[in-house]
Amino acid sequence: MENVEIIRSRRKTLCIEIRQEQVLVRAPLRVSNAEITRFLQEKQSWIESHLAKALAREEAKQHVPLLTDAEIRLLAHEAKALIPDRVAYYARRLNVAYGRITIRCQRTRWGSCTGKGNLNFNCLLMLAPREVLDSVIVHELCHRKHMNHSAAFYDEVLRIMPDYRTWDKWLKKNGPMLMARLGA
């Protein structure tokens, strides 16, 4: 099979990831190449199915309308007007403090939280349903209690937003098309 990259680490199990049109195999240090080849053969139909979906997504991205500079500025303006109020609302519910809020137009991230409590949000969130925006805000604010993605972190997220997984799934499915609106 072509386009296969193998990454060995101290993990315990084999897994496959599809990244765009590449197959990535994560393997334990001790697993032989023959075992990896067998594993890939067993998962051949799954791999082909997911590669086809990835190819279709990449093709669809070629046809999305690109945002103009004026549209991006308008999204950033809307985000600066809305996001601080939503952050304040959820910060009160979580009983957490935060630092500066920055709105950016990013190609890879929806939000982030620094160790100092500064929050960054992508202005493209204004193109998503309001619940998606709120789910990203809650996610980042929960990092004020847990600077990781542990079970305790997700317990806190789900306590504040019980339907978080629905909106996170929406963003994983639709987010790449929103990001594609920025162009290459």
CATH code (residue 89): 3.30.2010.10
Q: What is the dihedral of CA 47, 48, 54, 58, to 10 degrees?
A: 150
Distance CA 107, CA 176 (A): 9
Query: Which whole-number Å values give the CA distances from 153 to 26, 147, 159, in the listed order?
Result: 25, 8, 10
pTM for this one? Answer: 0.76
Contacts (Cβ under 8 Å, ≥6 apart) of 173: none
Specify the number of domains making up the chain.
2
Residues 75 and 47 in one domain: no
Residues 88 and 27 in one domain: no
Residues 106 and 126 in one domain: yes
Residue 134's domain spans which residues?
Answer: 69-180
User: Can you give the pLDDT at residue 52?
Assistant: 85
Residues 110 and 132 in one domain: yes
Contacts (Cβ under 8 Å, ≥6 apart) of 54: 18, 19, 20, 21
Q: What is the CB neighbour count within 10 angstroms for residue 35?
A: 13
Cβ atoms of residues 47 and 1 within 8 Å: yes
Residues 162 and 134 in one domain: yes
Q: What is the CB neighbour count within 10 angstroms for residue 130?
A: 12
User: Can you give the pLDDT at residue 1?
Assistant: 61
Cβ atoms of residues 79 and 103 within 8 Å: yes
Residues 95 and 166 in one domain: yes
Per-residue pLDDT 10s for the chain (184 aa) are 668 899 999 999 999 988 877 899 999 999 999 999 999 999 999 998 888 887 877 777 778 899 999 999 999 999 999 999 999 999 999 999 999 999 999 988 999 999 999 999 999 999 999 999 999 999 999 999 999 999 999 999 999 999 999 999 999 999 989 999 998 6
Residues 157 and 174 in one domain: yes
